[in-house]
Chains A and B, each alone.
Chain A
């Protein structure tokens, strides 16, 4: 099947799915109560990729969301000092990452960002072995948190909260015999944590550009990782997250973006890739993990992000998406906004800022 034979990307329907989730979720979703900031990010990210933030949402709504997000920043009344957190307003590392991205998508000026507090928070979360817990003195710790700590530090352009060498050593220990990276040092190679490992290693301050060999990845490791990643592209065109498991739309991003970061994105069979994701579109909007599956914002966003990384020349214009920054996992426009507003000291903007 060539690119021109593919169905269209149902942009309006997918934006609708995410808008609905932003407005309300049913009681069956109580189990994601602790991840609302992540759900928000997947919804905002979807609208950002579809270019429909300004069309589909009103300024008063965006103002309300920004206000709600700032209320999740723990600086009242306990402050961002780790000694002063109470048990229910401790900040969460992964949610901090998604909150910053969401605020950037909503074009916040970040005047309220407690940069020093966040740096102290990162310090409090890092363990002896270099990994990070989700919150100070508790919670699980694995490559997801390492990635978030690196992404946050990179966005702040301030690495004083992270012992980079120790973190890199932890990441390297997660490399499995198959070539992918597990969740923690004994873990089975997994697509999501492979992305977290590679994005972190390429975000690390000693690395200046994506095209030069990375000092933290040996030639052999790189070869094994590329081999494992590509082995995960199933006959349906989609990617699985582990060897001998079924394809899942979200791994199209985790594995696809990993290949992109390693500079070999061109090796993915793009037509098959697109055709798999096209078939995961749910008829009433949103994208699910596999054809016929119910959609959710997570799979919707990650599918679109994957598609943004692998544009197909002869596909219908509905599939045209903006360029994605694979390391931060947001559009390049939003990444520009971050560069201009998140660090304490910013270089004068290279291109005009969109209001």
Chain B
């Protein structure tokens, strides 16, 4: 057998040149007389896909099919048919799935932004830790966490495997800390195993990432998922304490970098989710709505519950003003209007029309003063 790991793709013999493939009839791709966006395929890609069509036609599921599909996905990681067929072949020949996972590790970083790499990984994990029903081809939803999750019996092996997977995802995130597929996969993994030991490491993980980049919105989003979207609440049942902790953390991050939409969106998100009034945060927010000069007149009280902006912060903070205007909207709408006018004309002119829209909408319900 040729050694795929050693040689580059150019030095590999084509499948059409190999004696162990002569029994397969390659099937060329139909192109017609005016194909749309035809690609100038390399001889390797044309050869491999011709042979792929050949073995699909005969429904062959064998070891050599794994070699063929690997060759294709290395050339085109988005070839979803090759991925799908590979998955079915792995199951049909009962190939060792942990070896498949190791192969995927080596491909993952190269093909970070491809849907199929992550989808395949999900399928393999599911197959290892909750085998599909016997009619694999009838499977409509192999990765649904409701019907086939491993959470009923977290064995030491699956716990260890989950930790290994999380460590792998962490390494991939070091390469690209905002990769959407990677984060989605991490969220799926946590929900799939729903193991309290896995959940409890996540806040620390998010905090480490935010220390590196407090504006990493994917990390903030993940935090929201971990706090409010988790299955097992063990250790997190006291929702009042949880909210207090989250507010404290978010306020600290805002104090560090006030002009950070991710932190403000998170703050608003947790208040809305828990039905907590925005006005509870008025004392925290107010210092951020003033300029440094205006604040000079304020008393310097060290309030650990309400960390103040640092001397280097760019003030006033637009998001803080927006927040304050939202507080006023309920019972002091004229103050909201004042803030929105300032945002429209001076501080956030890109969204001038939005702030004017807010004014219009708010005044709709207010009786006109004569």
Binary A-proximity of B20-31 (CB < 8 A = 1, otherwise 0): 000000000011
A39 to B36, CA, bound (A): 8
One of A207-215, A264-272, A283-291 contacting the partner: A264-272
Interface centre among B30, B32, B57, B216 (most CB of A within 10 A): B32
**Given known contacts A30-B41, A68-B34, is B188 in contact with A186 (CB within 8 Å)?**
yes
In the docked arrangement, what's the CA distance between A162 and B33, Å? 36
Cα separation A134 to B81 with both chains bound (whole Å):
11
Q: Of B140, B217, B224, B268, which is within 8 A of A242 by CB?
A: B217
Contact at A65–B36, with CB atoms within 8 Å? yes
Chain B residue numbers with a CB within 8 Å of A60 are 34
Residues of A within 8 A of B262 (CB): 243-244
- For the complex formed, measure the closest distance between the CB of A62 and the CB atoms of chain B, giving whole angstroms: 9
Residues of chain A within 8 A (CB-CB) of B116 are: 140
A177 touches B272 (CB 8 A): yes
Partner of A244, one of B138, B216, B225, B228: B216
Q: List 22 A-B contacts (CB under 8 A).
A: A30-B75, A33-B41, A35-B78, A36-B36, A63-B34, A86-B56, A134-B80, A135-B80, A137-B139, A176-B224, A178-B265, A183-B184, A187-B187, A188-B183, A188-B222, A228-B265, A230-B354, A231-B265, A237-B350, A242-B178, A243-B262, A267-B354
Query: In the complex the two chains form, is A67's CB within 8 Å of B353's CB?
Result: no
C-alpha gap A220/B272 in the complex (Å): 10
In contact, A40 and B36 (Cβ under 8 angstroms): yes
In the bound complex, do residue B39 and residue A25 qualify as a contact, i.e. CB atoms below 8 Å apart? yes
Q: Could you tell me the distance between the alpha carbons of A123 and B291 in the complex, rounded to whole angstroms?
A: 59
A-B Cβ contacts below 8 A, count: 194
Assembly CA distance A178 to B270 (angstroms): 10
Chain B residues lying within 8 Å of A164, measured Cβ to Cβ, are none
Of B216, B221, B354, the residue contacting A176 (CB under 8 A) is: B221
Instruction: Say yes or no: B34 contacts A65, CB within 8 Å.
Output: yes
A36–B221 touching, CB < 8 Å: no
Smallest beta-carbon distance A325→chain B, Å: 22
With A29-B39, A39-B37, A140-B118 given, name 6 new contacts (CB 8 A). Answer: A36-B38, A140-B119, A177-B224, A245-B178, A267-B351, A267-B353
Chain B residues with CB under 8 Å of A86's CB are: 56-57, 59
Q: Is B332 part of the contact surface with A, judged by Cβ < 8 Å?
A: no
Asked if A190 and B180 sit within 8 Å, CB to CB, the answer is yes
A269 touches B78 (CB 8 A): no
Given contacts A30-B41, A87-B85, are A137 and B35 in contact (CB under 8 A)? no
Interface residues of B in 68-99 (CB under 8 A from A): 75-81, 84-85, 87-88
B328 lies within 8 A of chain A by Cβ? no
Query: Is A22 an interface residue, CB under 8 A from the partner?
Result: yes
Q: Which residues of A contact B80 (CB under 8 A)?
A: 34, 92, 134-135, 139
Could you tell me which B residues sit within 8 Å of A by CB distance?
Answer: 30-42, 45, 52-53, 56-57, 59, 75-81, 84-85, 87-88, 115-116, 118-119, 137-141, 144, 146-147, 178, 180, 183-184, 187-188, 191, 215-218, 221-222, 224-225, 228-229, 260-262, 265-266, 268-270, 272-273, 350-354, 357
Of B81, B187, B269, the residue contacting A178 (CB under 8 A) is B269
**Residue among B75, B119, B178, B354 with most chain A CB within 10 A:** B354
Q: For residue A63, which residues in chain B have a CB less than 8 angstroms away from its CB?
A: 34
* The one of A23, A137, A237 that contacts B140, using a Cβ cutoff of 8 Å: A137
User: B180 contacts A188, CB within 8 Å?
Assistant: yes
On whether the beta carbons of B37 and A43 are closer than 8 Å, the reply is yes
- Check A128 against B39 for contact (C-beta < 8 Å): no
Interface residues of A in 27-57 (CB under 8 A from B): 27, 29-37, 39-40, 43
Q: How big is the A interface, by class? A: 35 or more
Complex Cα spacing A43 to B32, Å: 19
Most A CB atoms within 10 A — which of B79, B81, B229?
A: B81
CB closest chain-B residue, reference A127: B141
A138 to B32, CA, bound (A): 28
B353→A266 contact, CB < 8 A: yes
Q: Determine which residue in A32, A60, A88 has the highest number of CB atoms from chain B within 10 A of its CB, and name it.
A: A88
CB distance from B260 to the nearest CB of A (A): 7
Is the Cβ of A235 less than 8 Å from the Cβ of B350? yes
Q: Does the CB pair A137–B137 fall under 8 Å?
A: yes
Q: Are B32 and A67 in contact (CB under 8 A)?
A: yes
Beta-carbon contact of A178 and B36 below 8 Å: no
Q: How far is the CB of A104 from chain B (nearest CB, A)?
A: 15
Chain B residues whose CB sits within 8 angstroms of the CB of A300 once the complex forms: none
CB distance from B245 to the nearest CB of A (A): 17
CB distance from B324 to the nearest CB of A (A): 15
Chain B residues, Cβ within 8 Å of A266: 353
**Closest-CB distance, B352 to chain A (whole angstroms):** 7
Q: Within the assembled complex, what's the spacing in Å between the Cα atoms of A11 and B109?
A: 38
